[in-house]
Amino acid sequence: MRRELDERGERADERDRVADERERLADERERIADERERIADERERLADERDRRLVEAQVAGSGTVRRSQDALKRAHEALERARNRINRADAELHREGADWQREEAEVKREIATTEREGENAE
């Protein structure tokens, strides 16, 4: 009787641990979604900045062609740096997503094992 109560307690603890892990994974999933949204916003902001700089370069064309070319070159370099930052952040998100998927698979295996052990114990 005592052993059965201990096993039930252990299974309940395991279910609680699995529930906590699921909650942590859900929070991680939400954080990744927020980061992807932030990256999309950054891309949009950079596109707007590029358009603004192109207009500035066109307006500067009333001066010398050289100033326009320099402004366009600086805008292009800034855009390239931003694109590199976005690509690095996106790669990091993909790595985190893969980690999350591995953790989720592990939790699912643990749940299945715990459920099988519970069924076998009963």
Domain boundaries, the chain: 2-121
Q: How confident is the model at residue 23 (pLDDT cuts 50, 70, 90)?
A: very high
pLDDT at residue number 37: 92
Give this prediction's pTM: 0.44
SS3 46: helix
pLDDT digits over 60-74, tens only? 666 666 777 788 888
SS3 36: helix
Distance CA 8, CA 14 (A): 10
Distance CA 44, CA 23 (A): 32
